[in-house]
Each structure stands twice: as structure tokens, then as C-alpha cells.
Amino acid sequence: MKTIQAYRFALDLTPAQERAVLAHAGAARVAHNWALARVKAVMDQRAAERTYGVPDDQLTPSLGWTLPALRKAWNSVKREVAPWWPECSKEAFNTGLDAIALALKNWSDSRAGKRAGRPVGFPRFKSRRRTTPSVRFTTGTIRVEPDRIHVTLPRLGRLKLHESARKLARRLDAGTARILSATVRRNGGRWHVAFCTEVERAECHPARPHATVGVDVGIKHLAVLSTGELVPNPRHLDTASRRMRRLARRLSRRVGPDRRTGQQPSNRWRHAQTQLARAHARVANLRRDGLHQLTTRLTAAYGTVVVEDLNVAGMLRNRRLARHIADAGLAELHRQLGYKTGWNGGRLLTADRWYPSSKTCSGCGTVKAKLALSEREYQCEACGLALDRDLNAARNLAALAAQIDTAGSGPAPGRGADRETRLGGQVAVKRQPGTATAGQTGTVPPQGGTTDHTLARAH
């Protein structure tokens, strides 16, 4: 099975190498801003000419937004716009032009209704101070050295890694991986290189291919499994909040930049800013590592994993829970389960957003009309079942997989449920890519009549 996979490694750059990488990132920013200014000037000129009554066939010729068109326009003026262009790789300018071409396409598709999701605004100019330095290489010499602690990139030469690249090197030596591109980026005060590769993965099977696990995610516990296991929420942001507040206060007392007066930041301000950025990066790395360990363990052990389609963006609008929801990384957990089930030969089933997993009794199937968030224990009035509400929801999710297998697959009626109480209908369950029926949707008869409000599911 061929798949696209990224390998990211930290770099240990010398001062000269760091200046060279920053120069390439600056070249990408210059090309991006030039192309955006050129496109905007042509659009404004054509709009002004239309107000004068100029016919469409006599308007100023429009500038193509595709990468080849922008690259051709840049090559014709780069000697005047950037006389220093021979000092940087052509891939640096191509990085900025590719970014603006994609941004313009997304904006155009969003206006035309061809792009789903939130409306995309018109691209903005990149600031030297606020933009994350980044440059991508797609051609030239891109390789991992035989010692596996150095990499070679075009114009930048031989760069030392902070860690061994043996995992990628083994695949390259065996011929099961091919490097497509390499991106150098600064994150949290440290430089990283990410190799985008095409990997030929061996066929894998879960340890228990016929076993099913329901995963109920939340804040009190990061995940509650239908097996009864409680995965604690590490709350990395809360743990590091005291130190981060101290670093933020220290940064505010330093002499920082001021665009109004042209004041440059002091070295002490830069040092304090780096310390704060590293503290944030450490929290992100700890959160990512914990999610990887959990998702890898689940997908390697169970053939079927069932989760809920939570409206995380809507849950973040709750100002009382937004910080805790963001710290848990619920959307990232779902994303990792999506591709790791495909890698391990399993399947991921996603219950509909309004499926009443918490309100449904896992014993008899009775659905409560209302279930307050403060009720942490589920009490069934029909059969007398009493257990933790999260465990009850996880068991209902696990039971959903058996209903899908019994009912088969077919088209889902819309979202499958809404916010109103109903006595009949169907519950849609999406099959994620990586399964035998990728992209299809199965329908299951409901177990009751009411639905959960997404915000109330933020345990």
C-alpha cells in the first residue's frame, strides 16, 4: 500500500547556516508579497476601468493565478525586484509563489461555492516579524547522508540533525520510500526539516481484527474505552501555565519592537521571546506524543474503532471550556485514528454528530429526554442500570458497529439526526477511508428518540 508520509527531524544549525536558511525564507516572502501586490494591482485597475465604461475586451490584461503564470511573471522582473536573486535557490521563490497561487485559488473557489467550510478571505501580505520562516525544496539534491545524522539540501549544503534519521534512511535504503520534498521551518525557536515521502507500507493486521472498541473522548478523561479503561487527560497546558505566565511577564518587561517609532527589539527581548516560544512548543510536543501513543495502541489492537463526530469548532465557542478542549486535542485524535486505521488494516466508524450516545442506556436501549452535564452517572429508569456516563456512551458506540454490520451500507439521510426530539428515523455512521467500503455511509435504526447537543458532550 502506497501512502504519503512525513518524517520530521530537528536541526542543529551553525550561525552561518541559520542566516542562509533565513535568507531563503525571506526570498520566499518577497516573492509572495510581490505576486500578491501584482495581482491586486491588476484587479484594482480592471475594476477602475470598468467604472469608466471601458469594454471588457479593452481592459488591462489579467494576470494568471496559477503557479506557472506567476513564475513566468516573476522571472521577467526578478532582476529589478530582487537583484540578489542568484544568492538563493530558485526553490525559495517557488515556495512563495506556490503559497500565493494556492491562497488565491482557495479564495476564488470559496467565493464561487466550490470550496466547503468557512469562507476564505483574500490573501494578506506576509510580515517579516510575524511570519514563520519556512522554505520548501522539491528539486535538486535532497538526501539523507550515510551517517544518518546529516542531510543535504540544495544551496544550503550539509546540515546536521539533532537526532538520527535511521527510520527514514532504512526505508530509503530498502527502496520502500521516495523523497518528494523537504521543508525547513522554524518552530518554537528550533529549526526542523520535514521530508514528504511516498512510502510503500507492508500489509498489516490488528492484533484482534474482529474486536470492536468504542472511544468516548472528553475533558475529564481524554478517552473512555468501551472495555472500561479510562485514559487520563494529562492537561499539559494547565501544568505549564504557571511557567508560561512567568515567561510572558518577563517578555513584557523587556524592550520590544515598536512599528510606530521604528524601535528595534533588544537582545534580552529576543531571548525572552525564544524561551516563551519553546515553552509553547514543549506543550504541543507533549500533547502530540500522548495522542500518538494512544491512537497507535488502539489501531494496532482493535479491528474496528468507533468514535463520535464532535463539532470541536463549535465547542471552542464556550469560553468556560475552550482552553481545556483545545488542550485535549480532540480533533487531532480523530485525525490520527483516521489514517492509522488504514495503515493497520482496520476501520474507523464515525457516529453522527447528533447520535445520543450519552442519553441512551447501553443495557436496554432506552433514551432519556434530557441529560444534564452535571449528571456524571447514568441512571436508567427502565432497567435500573447505573454506571459512569462516559462509559455508557463508549459502550453505545461499540454496539453501533454491530448494528452497521447487520444493516449493511447505504446512503444516509442527510446528517442522520437533528437537535429535536424524534420517535423514529435513522442514525448515520460514516466509514472513514482505509476500510473496504471507504467513503460510504451506513444507516442504523435508532435506539430512541432524542439526541445529544454537541456542547453537552464536552465532558
Supply the pLDDT for residue 355: 87
C-beta atoms surrounding 170 within 10 Å: 12
Q: Residue 271 falls within a domain, yes or no?
A: no
Using the predicted structure, report yes or no on whether residue 45 has a pLDDT greater than 70: yes
- Is residue 180 scored above 70 in pLDDT? yes
For residue 335, pLDDT over 90 is answered with yes
Report strand pairing: 157-161 vs 150-153.
antiparallel
Residue that is last in its domain, among 111, 142, 171: 111
Taking each helix axis from N to C end, the angle separating 236-252 and 267-301, rounded to the nearest 10 degrees, works out to 170
Q: Is the pLDDT of residue 438 over 80?
A: no
Q: Are residues 294 and 396 in the same domain?
A: yes
Q: What pLDDT shows up at residue 405? A: 76
Q: Using an 8 Å Cβ cutoff, are 222 and 307 in contact?
A: no
> In this structure, are 318 and 424 located in the same domain?
yes
Is the residue at 55 inside a domain? yes
pLDDT above 90 for 370: no
Same domain, 36 and 77: yes
| Amino acid residing at 75 | N
Would residue 422 count as lying in a domain?
yes
Q: What average pLDDT is seen over the chain?
A: 87
Alpha-carbon dihedral 326, 329, 335, 336, rounded to 10 degrees? 160
92-106, 321-335, 438-452: which range is least confident on average?
A: 438-452
Between 3-12, 239-248, 396-405, the lowest mean confidence (pLDDT) is in 396-405
Residue 22 three-state SS: helix
42 and 170: one domain?
no
Identified catalytic residue from 98, 216, 309, 352: 216
91 is catalytic: no
What is the mean predicted confidence (pLDDT) over 48-60? Answer: 89
What DSSP assignment string belongs to 37-93?
HHHHHHHHHHHHHHHTT--GGGSPPPPP-SHHHHHHHHHHHHHHH-TTGGGS-HHHH
More confident residue, 349 or 438: 349
Q: Given a cut of 90, is residue 58 above it in pLDDT?
A: no
Structure confidence at residue 76 as a pLDDT band (50, 70, 90) = very high
Residues 44, 87 within the same domain: yes
**Whether residue 459 has pLDDT greater than 70:** no
Q: Which of 308, 327, 388, 452 is catalytic?
A: 308
Cβ–Cβ < 8 Å for 101, 70: yes
319 and 384 share a domain? yes
Q: Which of 91, 309, 388, 390 is catalytic?
A: 390
Taking CA atoms, 17 is separated from 14, 133, 155, 327, 409, in Å, by 5, 14, 10, 35, 56
Domain boundary pick from 111, 144, 177: 111
- Taking residue 184's Cβ as centre, other Cβ atoms within 10 Å add up to 23
Q: In the predicted model, what is the mean pLDDT of residues 216-223? A: 92
> What is the pLDDT, as a whole number, of residue 369?
84
Residues 45 and 173 occupy one common structural domain: no
Domain that holds residue 404: 209-233+285-457
Q: Which of 409, 404, 408, 418 is nearest to 450 (CA)?
A: 418
**In the annotation, is 308 catalytic?**
yes
Whether residue 122 is contained in a domain is answered as no
Judgement on whether residues 79 and 137 belong to the same structural domain of the protein: no
390 tagged catalytic = yes
pTM here is 0.82
Mean pLDDT throughout 278-294? 95
Q: According to the model, what pLDDT value does residue 365 have?
A: 85
> Could you tell me the CA-to-CA distances from 89 to 140, 155, 156 in Å, in that order?
10, 6, 9
117 within a domain of the structure (yes/no)? no
pLDDT, tens digit, 9 for 90 and up, residues 230-239: 999 999 999 9
pLDDT digits (tens, 9 = 90+) for 21-42: 999 999 999 999 999 999 999 9
**Rg of the chain over all Cα atoms, to the nearest angstrom:** 26
Q: Which of 86-100, 124-138, 177-191, 404-418 has the lowest mean pLDDT?
A: 404-418
Q: Which triple of cell numbers denotes residue 58?
A: 479593452
Q: What whole-number percentage of the chain has pLDDT above 90?
A: 66
Q: Out of 81-90, 158-167, 342-351, 400-409, which region has the weakest mean confidence (pLDDT)?
A: 400-409
Residues 33 and 98 in one domain: yes
C-alpha grid cell for residue 278? 519553546
Domain contains 247: no
Q: Does residue 118 lie within any of the structural domains?
A: no
In the prediction, which pLDDT does 188 show?
A: 85
Are 177 and 299 within one domain? Answer: no
Q: What is the mean pLDDT of residues 251-258?
A: 93
> Does 47 reside within a domain?
yes
Residues 72 and 214 in one domain: no
Chain mean position to CA 137: 21
Q: What is the tally of structural domains in the chain?
A: 3
- Nearest 5°: the CA angle 217, 204, 400 is 35
Instruction: Note whether 42 and 72 are same-domain residues.
Output: yes
